[in-house]
Amino acid sequence: MIQRLVILLILLVGYSVNSQTTTYSLKENLAYYENGFEQDDAYIKERCKLDIYYPTNQNGFATIVWFHGGGLTSGNKEIPESLKNKGLAVVAVNYRLYPKVKAPAYIEDAAAAVSWVYRNIERYGGDASLIFVSGHSAGGYLASMVGLDKSWLEHFDMDADKIAGLIPFSGHTITHFTVREERGIKGTQAIVDYLAPLYHVRPDAPPMLLITGDRDLELLGRYEETAYFHRMMQLSGHSQVQLFELEGYDHGGMAFPAFPLLVKEINRVKKALKEK
């Protein structure tokens, strides 16, 4: 289902959550590599941390694992303001960056963070069956890779199919441009290899909501590659994949109108799971 949306429609549909009586807490800089993993690696100690923002007087809430953007070369973890006070937990993740590391270190970190959430979210009152993975740009790429290529989470004894939903915001579906840069490949040469979400199209993946900015305002080919990925997922037999193009919004600006769609998708999946 492909839809072109304007901001008024987005903001009016399915975003409000009554959280007037809900209180929240924030825990910061928790290490997600546990049990002394790579304890002598100073860069892991520095970067591989997460923050968790969660309801303190609710139980069984859903959780969003959020990966920041920045082209795999910059950026820092943050709890998006648009996801606060929605009756949800938000886990914001830092990961190692190029050029200090190269692929697949970024994906390894993303998988380690997601597995940490699965092992620990119930301690904070969350439901481990309601963990959604999302992020913007490079963060959207990481969300897709962790959810589609099952090998990354298998390394941490986790099953990617336990993810309740994947909601990448304007993330590469071909091999990421920074990974191509590492190999000396120009940005206009599209590559689809094992480091591309497109390479791992499968019918049994978690539900997916794909969101991009306006095709005429987005980064080079970003809408088109996402539309192709959407079509290939459909042809593979995946029955729960949607694509939204946010008309009038560029790559950086598309996140704001995308957040209501993320919350709406979480509520849709929660309802569907209850009806099973």
Q: What is the pLDDT of residues 200-212, one digit of tens each?
A: 999 999 999 999 9
Segment 129-186, tens digit of pLDDT: 999 999 999 999 999 999 999 999 999 999 999 999 999 999 999 999 999 999 999 9
CB 213 within 8 A of CB 245: yes
Kind and range of the H or E run holding 62:
strand 61-67
Query: End-to-end distance of the chain based on CA atoms, in angstroms?
Result: 23
Confidence (pTM): 0.92
* CATH number of 2-16+26-275, picked from 3.40.630.30, 3.40.50.1820, 3.40.50.300, 1.20.1560.10: 3.40.50.1820
**Residues 90, 94, 100: CA angle, nearest 5 degrees:** 165
Q: Which residue has the tokens 């139980």?
A: 59
Tokens of 249: 């919004």
Confidence of residue 235 (pLDDT cuts 50, 70, 90): very high
Q: Where are the domains of the chain?
A: 2-16+26-275
Confidence of residue 34 (pLDDT cuts 50, 70, 90): confident
CB atoms < 10 A from the CB of 49, how many? 20
Tokens of 142: 């990481």
Q: Which residues does residue 166 pair with via DSSP β-bridges, in sequence order?
A: 133, 208
Segment 75-104, tens digit of pLDDT: 999 999 999 999 999 999 999 999 999 999
